[in-house]
Structure 1
């Protein structure tokens, strides 16, 4: 994670941070960065506050605090990547750094349970927040397919239960979860962790898929 954040910092180092940002002249006026907490600034940055350059200058800080603290909202922070023409149109170095960051965050989430990744609580919240950044979340699902172990399996159970509970899981993630291979993976996890405290949740998710 440290290397991914370093690369983001290098990629956006050419955008100097300003102490005072221009706000909407009709509703905000000038905004002092020091006078605002990062959460409130993130809500308006790139919209009613700041230019595209200001947004990019603060992205390294926002992306770092998203995974190291709990004051920022994933939908808000990752949503900033859809501004300024959308990150897929940004220079190659910026795109590569952001892609590396997103992949690293995703792998970090899957690697442990609970995720312990700042404002990104679990796999479901990451996929929901990342969905507007891509045509689909297949990139992350392929990584999940290739990541065995108890932690990713427990996240998988949560994803299925979140979907059944109506949590807004992306459609392609739902289609992926409904595949026989995922159902079989959950069954194997139930057998493997039969005596574990979390076996009941694995079994619940498997039962949901088996009933489809």
Structure 2
């Protein structure tokens, strides 16, 4: 089974895991959505318009009377377009909203189904270049959602494919642009400070997999190493 097929299998399993989420009367900010919008969100999942799902996917929790329940019910409609590159909502915003909805505390079949999607999506991304979603955005979502970067980097290290190597080059171009790496925070609110872990990984485990003149500059290398030391000594940075 290809990695794309594994992702589709995980998405289908996600649909089944959340199929028992029944419609319920959604209450919320009528100034933003109106009674008609709230009625749409209260109806059958497959009948909710795409634009309403997108709006709810990024909305702040305070707009809803029961944000965790609403988000949980919408998850299949939010996640499938997300991982296939068709979502209109920023990946890091969805990651933040999932954490705010407490996805990891949901019933085990639902939380496990989401974990399987994260794993399958990440592996499919590393085996496809270009990927439907830029690798940095995918990495940001799975990192913030799971509050852990290192496991995803370990999978990347172990994936020795041309696609995975090309993604390393793409990531470098992204994080080194305008020195974003100096203070790389993932998540819509910058919840996860990734600088030290990512720099350490780039300078060691995948350094031989990318040709980039910046990584041959001794002054720049010293600068990157200083970033590691700074964050290690003061994680609040």
TM-score normalised according to structure 2 size: 0.69
Unaligned runs of 5+ in 2: 1-6, 41-47, 186-193, 222-237
Which residue number in structure 2 is paired with residue 100 of structure 1? Answer: 116
Which residue number in structure 1 is paired with residue 95 of structure 2? Answer: 78
Q: Tell me the alpha carbon deviations over residues 94-139 of structure 1, each in whole angstroms, 9 at most, x when there is no partner.
A: 22111110011111111111112xxx2x211112223322332111
* Count of equivalent residues: 190
Which residue number in structure 2 is paired with residue 131 of structure 1? Answer: 143
Aligned counterpart for 2:202 among listed residues 177, 180, 187: 177
Unaligned runs of 5+ in 1: 187-201
Which residue number in structure 1 is paired with residue 18 of structure 2? Answer: 12
**2:54, 2:87 within 8 Å by CA — same for their partners in 1?**
no
Residue 26 (structure 2) pairs with residue 21 (structure 1): yes
- For residues 154 and 210 of structure 1, do their structure 2 counterparts lie closer, same or farther at Cα, with a shift above 3 Å needed? farther
TM-score normalised according to structure 1 size: 0.76
Which residue number in structure 1 is paired with residue 45 of structure 2? Answer: none
Which residue number in structure 1 is paired with residue 54 of structure 2? Answer: 39
Q: Is the partner of 1:32 in helix, strand or coil?
A: helix
Which residue number in structure 1 is paired with residue 233 of structure 2? Answer: none
Aligned counterpart for 1:154 among listed residues 143, 147, 166: 166
Q: What is the rounded CA distance, in whole Å, between the counterparts of 1:208 and 1:140 in structure 2?
A: 27
RMSD: 2.7
Aligned counterpart for 2:105 among listed residues 73, 77, 89: 89
Q: What is the rounded CA distance, in whole Å, between the counterparts of 2:87 and 2:34 in structure 1?
A: 29
Q: What is the rounded CA distance, in whole Å, between the counterparts of 1:101 and 1:178 in structure 2?
A: 29
Which residue number in structure 2 is paired with residue 199 of structure 1? Answer: none
**1:110, 1:144 within 8 Å by CA — same for their partners in 2?**
yes
Going by fraction, where is helix more abundant, 1 or 2? 2
**1:157, 1:206 within 8 Å by CA — same for their partners in 2?**
no
Q: What is the rounded CA distance, in whole Å, between the counterparts of 2:152 and 2:120 in structure 1?
A: 11
